[in-house]
Structure 1
């Protein structure tokens, strides 16, 4: 009786790499890398052929796109708490959290029921109150006719602990939002090590 193939979900990382790379030598080289670092690794760092590298990157990207599509069903319908905002940002900004090499500042626009309207990239670079101008932050919110917004930015270091500047930016934008009639619901700091709500940090 023929042997039943092992489902891919039960195969080891080495087995999955073997399907993509088709070479024991290259599998042993790539398997030595941390799996979460593969997306940033160059072909020369991995020591594999162009064809094998293309297969590997295509496999990683396809897996990520499948996971992104599946994760859309898990998004909270209402961002009415810090926990809901964190869960949303963890899914919606998964690529930024994992891949971004610089800080990115985004806003998530919400309607009167705190349901998602859209998200907008505002700036890239070190977060600074002088760089995150309220005009640029609230322009897309006004265009979306948003009632409120969630602020979100990443820490590429992997540590989501808010900095003094993060708090200063939050304060400034909350004040401007009050003047415009657009509530800043929360500011979520995102990193590979987890996500942190500035609101929750202040209420501790």
Structure 2
């Protein structure tokens, strides 16, 4: 189902993808896409693809330095893409090739830190979220917990949502999450 929907989405939105790619190319030097190793199902390492939103010299492949409000590494086009979630569009390809699902826990960078400590040291059940394929969107995101993990409390809440999603998983829940995701870019939250 994921792959069929991803294929149909790519067919439907390819002109938008081309426009965003052109905007990224014209905005700053560097590649159009940003590929980053992240945790997949079973704690495997997968490559996640996004439109590049930061200056090439400011990217952190390991993900130790998360984006902050008014981060000088983020390009002008990048600010718009991040706020509207358009930077995530290339992940539809990741779904098509089987690295990700449409819905599931968002994949985190391998070296994610909160307050200078690896997140798995701060959130005891952190790796439970890696028992399923990660998703482009998930229960945490539609409930306002998206963007950088800026506190231990936020990390715990995100993992709580991820574990709840895994426990209660159903096709109906996925459909509800997908429809509610359509309004996420218009919500005021902690993403930047």
TM-score by length of 1: 0.25
Greater Rg, structure 1 or structure 2? 1
The structure in which a higher percent of residues are strand is: 1
* Greater RCO structure (CA 8 Å; 6+ sep): 2
TM-score by length of 2: 0.26
